[in-house]
Amino acid sequence: MAKLSLMIINMKIFAERFLELRKEKKVSQAKAAKELDVSASIVCYWETNRSEPTIVNLEKIAKYFGVSTDYLLGLED
């Protein structure tokens, strides 16, 4: 149960950090989606914590924003 709670918390942090990084980079959801090769609706779902990225997409996101996957998941600041 604790593992599930940690994952839920991490995904909330992911949603917040993804949105923050996208705004810092000053790109629209559509542009981020195109750069990451996903649909704009997926980006919206990530930002609103309605969906979580696959491992492959998590790696793409980290490279795109120049951060670690650990940072995206809230495992480091």
Domains in the chain, please, with CATH?
A: 2-72 (1.10.260.40)
pLDDT, one tens digit per residue, over 61-72 is 999 999 999 999
Output the pLDDT for position 4.
53
Q: Where are the alpha helices (DSSP H) in 26-54?
A: 29-36, 40-47
Q: Where are the alpha helices (DSSP H) in the chain?
A: 2-25, 29-36, 40-47, 55-65, 69-72
Evaluate whether 17 touches 74 at the Cβ level (below 8 Å). yes
At residue 2, does pLDDT exceed 70? no
Count of CB atoms within 10 A of residue 3's CB? 7
pTM over 0.85: yes
Tell me the two tokens of residue 20: 């923050």
pLDDT, one tens digit per residue, over 3-53 is 555 556 678 999 999 999 999 999 999 999 999 999 999 999 999 999 999
